[in-house]
Amino acid sequence: MINFTVGPVQSSQTVLNIGAEQVPYFRTNEFSEIMLENEALMKKFTNAKEDARVVFMTGSGTASMEASIVNFFDERDKILVINGGSFGQRFVDLCELYQLNYTQIKLEVGQALTSEQLAQYDNQGFTGFLVNIHETSTGVHYDIDIISEFCQKNNIFLVVDAISSFLADKIDISGSKIDVMITGSQKALACPPGVSVIVLSKKAVDRLEDYPSKCMYLNLKSALKNGERGQTPFTPAVGILRQIHARLKEIEANGGVDVEIARVKELAEDFRNKIKDLPFEITSESMSNAVTPLHPTTCSAYEIFLTLKDEYGIWVCPNGGELADKIMRVGHIGALSCKDNDILIAALKDLQSRGII
Amino acid sequence: MINFTVGPVQSSQTVLNIGAEQVPYFRTNEFSEIMLENEALMKKFTNAKEDARVVFMTGSGTASMEASIVNFFDERDKILVINGGSFGQRFVDLCELYQLNYTQIKLEVGQALTSEQLAQYDNQGFTGFLVNIHETSTGVHYDIDIISEFCQKNNIFLVVDAISSFLADKIDISGSKIDVMITGSQKALACPPGVSVIVLSKKAVDRLEDYPSKCMYLNLKSALKNGERGQTPFTPAVGILRQIHARLKEIEANGGVDVEIARVKELAEDFRNKIKDLPFEITSESMSNAVTPLHPTTCSAYEIFLTLKDEYGIWVCPNGGELADKIMRVGHIGALSCKDNDILIAALKDLQSRGII
């Protein structure tokens, strides 16, 4: 199978080789060194400051989204949420669950966010801002600059879910004054799913003192305390953390984060050029390099997903719910090449010649 | 390295081979079938009834311990907790965090639980019982029969953490009237860490209707709803779930759960026979087949751990905190053989001849 989904994605041979190894015991200096190096490389690749910290959470991206709510907000806060799809909705659902005072900016499928929209919320006492910088469900990449400017002007604590954007699009925690950034192991990090990663600015680390965590498993304060010696409060997904280590070192050896982002960008542009003649519309006003969201104009998106899977050995990424028939997504993250794009395009042309699309 | 810890432990070649494979996309019927088979085999191996259900949680055992608190108890309850070590203490800490009404039975290191102790709590209105049936930190295996009898007599909802006991000791959910049983991927299941498993009786499934979950990530109701079609609410550790599948099928092919437990028991007895002449005391009144807790009478337990690791390529399991120098543990779970026991015993004899122990 060739995997063009947005996760889990294809891993490099180096990462797969570690998957074949026995998982070592981890309450050792040897494992601590790996974790401390993971923390340093995550900070480097996000341009976080020296006093930033990183937590590796064994769990999906949602675990880290919830950790970013339970550890940083309570009834004292007033939160602005960008809701442009199912992951924006997840932030809304978390605010509801924890009975937080929030306002959502609801965006249509594919719609970008504008500074004019944000300006309506100036000087209204907001203390928190939640955004999925790449709303993976619809493939919309919001403009971090206008968000950052709005948050700085209004002195707002900024949480950025960059789960599918980190390593595909530029992220600059220091430059954009991001307080909390989240990512996951199975997106552009291209490791198996099971670990999500939270980068915390000094401001975020300090804020933990003021907000007692309401959840033991998602407690960032105890995670940071254990992390000082390269350990975790509970048994983590040791194997995946070793794979993340190998992958971060691989990116570093290949020239660093900018080279990796350029590689993903090239793959995305190559695909977007090649898809032009086929009966698809791109449904996003503002795309991440990670994903191209496509609306097939002649048939059901979900049917294309099934046919490519069952007859061509290709996974593209289906959508759920109301968008299932309307939109499918083609990912450009993980160990893919332009030759893989050619195989997918050939398969789509074959579907066209068969009268299926 | 030879790994005698209590997790992560050594995996079979079949499990390792899956670790070397690309992780497939998972919102497919193919992955759903794997998950439904995982659920069926977990029920079979724990002798759960047909109407029981299973949740696979991407997270450590603590995530599932916390899920067993937030989904089943609130201010209406009165809970009895067995606290004989750091995992019993974790249940106590969870009760504190969620401000539950609880009483703990505190046991000394190595001390078993007696029916006389439990009898003191008869007819006092307890509604919940929390026990780590094998308190892994000290290697004490409590008697499920006396616990089960007490809970039935008093109509108490019984939560059993069997994280390190499942597949090492007999567990009979139906016979012992266990409502919730927890285990983890990296103990006797002998897969990489990252997944914990919760088996729920029909009574537990029904109880979820009465207790709105206070946590999104640990919400068992949404997990069960998605699980009906073999799916999960969030991206799970797909690779580890495929490894669990292979391992459960492997156990089934080798003759089933009783054969596996007998294998672990044989390893444990073999080791306990061979250690007799060495300067160690067994520190548990009632042992699981999973682990032998040892007090070295002549030197620090932690020093032995370090020396075996650095000079002999062997991991035994150290203890933390106050027990670090007093107790080390030797595990009998995972892909180990009596020959591995011989290698460990030879290393300990060598330490003795060198005057280290």
Cα-based distances in Å from B288 to A238, B122, B261, B321: 25, 27, 11, 22
Residues of chain B with pLDDT under 50: none
Between chains, do B8 and A62 touch, taking CB under 8 Å as contact?
A: no
Written as six digits, the tokens of B8 are: 């992560």
Handedness of CA A205, A210, A215, A221 (dihedral sign): positive
Query: What domains can be seen in chain B, in order of their start residue?
Result: 14-253 (3.40.640.10), 256-353 (3.90.1150.10)
ipTM over 0.95: yes
Q: pLDDT tens per residue, chain A (357 residues)?
A: 999 999 999 999 999 999 999 999 999 999 999 999 999 999 999 999 999 999 999 999 999 999 999 999 999 999 999 999 999 999 999 999 999 999 999 999 999 999 999 999 999 999 999 999 999 999 999 999 999 999 999 999 999 999 999 999 999 999 999 999 999 999 999 999 999 999 999 999 999 999 998 999 999 999 999 999 999 999 999 999 999 999 999 999 999 999 999 999 999 999 999 999 999 999 999 999 999 999 999 999 999 999 999 999 999 999 999 999 999 999 999 999 999 999 999 999 999 999 999
Between chains, do B66 and A194 touch, taking CB under 8 Å as contact?
A: no
Contact B271, B332 (CB under 8 A): yes
Contact A70, A218 (CB under 8 A): yes
A10 contact residues in B (CB cutoff 8 A):
22
Question: Distance between CA A325 and CA A344 in Å, rounded?
Answer: 19
A27 touches chain B (CB under 8 A): yes
Indicate the helix (H) or strand (E) that contains A248: helix A238-253
A28 contact residues in B (CB cutoff 8 A):
309
pTM of the model: 0.98
Of A103, A92, A58, A85, nearest to A140 (Cα)? A85
The region that residue B229 occupies, defined by phi over 0 for left and psi between -120 and 50 for alpha, beta otherwise, is: alpha
Question: Distance between CA B2 and CA B16 in Å, rounded?
Answer: 16
Indicate the helix (H) or strand (E) that contains A273: helix A257-274
Question: Distance between CA A226 and CA A224 in Å, rounded?
Answer: 5
Q: Residue B47 class from Cβ within 10 Å (0-12 exposed, 13-18 middle, 19+ buried)?
A: middle
Of A59, A65, A109, nearest to A90 (Cα)? A65
The pLDDT of residue A213: 85
Which A positions 34-63 lie with beta carbon below 8 A of chain B?
Answer: 58-63
Between chains, do B25 and A238 touch, taking CB under 8 Å as contact?
A: no
- Scanning the structure block, which residue is given the tokens 């490519």? A308
A7 touches chain B (CB under 8 A): yes
Instruction: Indicate the length of chain B as a whole number.
Output: 357
Contact B23, A193 (CB under 8 A): yes
DSSP letter assigned to residue A120: T
3-state secondary structure chain B: CEECCCCCCCCCHHHHHHHCCCCCCCCCHHHHHHHHHHHHHHHHHCCCCCCCEEEEEECCHHHHHHHHHHCCCCCCCEEEEEECCHHHHHHHHHHHHCCCEEEEEECCCCCCCCHHHHHCCCCCCCCEEEEECEECCCCEECCHHHHHHHHHHHCCEEEEECCCCECCECCCCCCCCCCEEEEECCCCCCCCCCEEEEEECHHHHHHHHHCCCCCCCCCHHHHHHHHCCCCCCCCCCHHHHHHHHHHHHHHHHCCCHHHHHHHHHHHHHHHHHHCCCCCEEECCCCCCCCEEEEEECCCCHHHHHHHHHHHHCEECEECCHHHCCCCEEEECCCCCCHHHHHHHHHHHHHHHHCCCC
Query: Of the candidates B5, B59, B235, which has its C-beta nearest A217's C-beta?
Result: B59
Tell me whether residue B329 is annotated as binding: yes
B234 contact residues in A (CB cutoff 8 A):
60-63
A237 touches chain B (CB under 8 A): yes
